[in-house]
Amino acid sequence: MKIGIIGTGNIAQFLLEEISKSKNGNLHIVSIFGRNQEVGNELATMYGVTFFEDIDLFLASCIDVVVEAATVEVVRNLASKIVIAGKHLVVSSVGAFADGEFYRELEQLANQHNTEIYVPSGAIGGIDIIKSANALGELRNVSIVTRKSPQSLSMEVEEETVVFEGSASEAIKQFPKNINVSIVLSLAGIGEEKTNVTIIADPQTTKNTHTIEAEGEFGRFQLQVENEPMKRNPKTSALAALSILSVLQNTGSRVKIGS
């Protein structure tokens, strides 16, 4: 499978490094698209890929799947173009799907052009349980409490502070780079308006912690995940990058584990 990456930042560099040294001969990153010409050319030289600044030339290259590793705005601006070009799409900035109309339009385009859109689980777990619990629409309550350092939230506080309480749709508007996990959770469950989010800035923590709770006809569920932040970017959990790598490794697999 030939992969193209949109973005030249931390996740893109992580994927380039890990896939280049992987023994999985089915995965090959061949193209990168971005705006940072200097970094893009450095990555192209280092990993033997082609760097593009023109999205049409990028999509015309010999790629099967595009990994978006950029921003919510990039997803909104380019996702439709990628799908129409017949490329499968892995979405990192899932906050774009807080816009339900955009999500439904993209889903319709994917059906029309026989392409697949992958939404990695990101920095949380329990997505299979949430999906299974809601298989008959009997999931009642879903919530997530996220605890991060003030630095990763781009703020300064001297003591543990609740900086947000509300719906997933409002959380992603206020923290578009920090709470993508809430949108993943809402897509798997009862929607962004009904998924409750609490964000805590804690000067004492060095990890990104997510506690998920759900309740319904199936019973009750609670899961806590403590993530190490990426070394190059404390706003992103290492598990978020690993979940994208996992999606790529499992694409095309004849044996599917989990829902």
pLDDT of residue 257: 81
CB burial class (10 A; 0-12, 13-18, 19+) of residue 38? exposed
> Do 231 and 245 belong together in one domain?
no
The pLDDT tens digits of the residues spanning 54-87 come to 999 999 999 999 999 999 999 999 999 999 999 9
In a 3-state reduction of DSSP, which class is residue 48?
Answer: coil
257 is a domain residue: no
pTM of the model: 0.93
Answer whether residue 259 is part of any domain.
no
Q: Mean pLDDT lowest for which of 87-91, 157-161, 232-236, 249-253? A: 232-236
| CATH code (residue 66) | 3.40.50.720
**pLDDT digit string, tens, across residues 188-240:** 999 999 999 999 999 999 899 999 999 999 999 999 999 988 877 767 889 99
In the predicted model, what is the mean pLDDT of residues 6-32? 93
**The Cα angle at residue 182 between residues 181 and 187, in degrees rounded to 5:** 100
Q: How confident is the model at residue 259 (pLDDT cuts 50, 70, 90)?
A: low
CB atoms within 10 A of CB 139: 23
| Distance separating alpha carbons of residues 142 and 214, to the nearest angstrom | 4
Burial pattern 163-176, b for ≥16 Cβ within 10 A else e, equals bbeebbbbbbeebb
Residue 183 lies in a domain: yes
Lowest mean pLDDT: which of 2-16, 43-57, 169-183? 169-183
pLDDT in tens, 92-102: 999 999 999 99
pLDDT per residue as tens digits for the range 94-152 = 999 999 999 999 999 999 999 999 999 998 999 999 999 999 999 999 999 999 999 98
Same domain, 139 and 220: yes
**Residue 203 covered by a domain:** yes
pLDDT tier for residue 178 given thresholds of 50, 70 and 90: confident
Question: What CATH code is carried by the domain that includes residue 137?
Answer: 3.30.360.10
Counted domains in the chain: 2
The answer to whether 88 is a known catalytic residue is: no
Average pLDDT of the chain is 94
Cβ neighbours, 10 Å, residue 83: 24
Do 49 and 176 belong to one domain? Answer: no
Calculate ∠ Cα 136-103-32, nearest 5°: 125
Q: Please indicate, yes or no, whether residues 57 and 163 belong to a single structural domain of this protein.
A: no
Residues 115 and 176 grouped into a single domain: no
- Which neighbouring-strand residues pair with 212? 144, 223
Query: Would residue 139 count as lying in a domain?
Result: yes
Q: Could you tell me the residue range of the domain that residue 195 belongs to?
A: 127-235
Q: Could you tell me if 7 and 110 lie in one domain?
A: yes
Residue 256 in any domain: the answer is: no
pLDDT of the residue at 170: 95
Q: Does some domain include residue 153?
A: yes
> Has residue 255 been placed in a domain?
no
141 & 230 share domain: yes
The answer to whether residues 16 and 117 belong to one domain is yes
Residue 95 shares a structural domain with residue 186: no
CB 199 within 8 A of CB 211: no
Q: What is the pLDDT of residue 230?
A: 84
Lowest-confidence region among 26-30, 178-182, 254-258? 254-258
Within this chain, do residues 71 and 133 fall inside the same structural domain, yes or no?
A: no
The active-site residue, picked from 28, 88, 113, 210, is 210
139 and 219 in one domain?
A: yes
Shared domain for 231 and 243, answered yes or no, is no
User: For residue 116, how many other CB atoms are within 10 A of its CB?
Assistant: 12
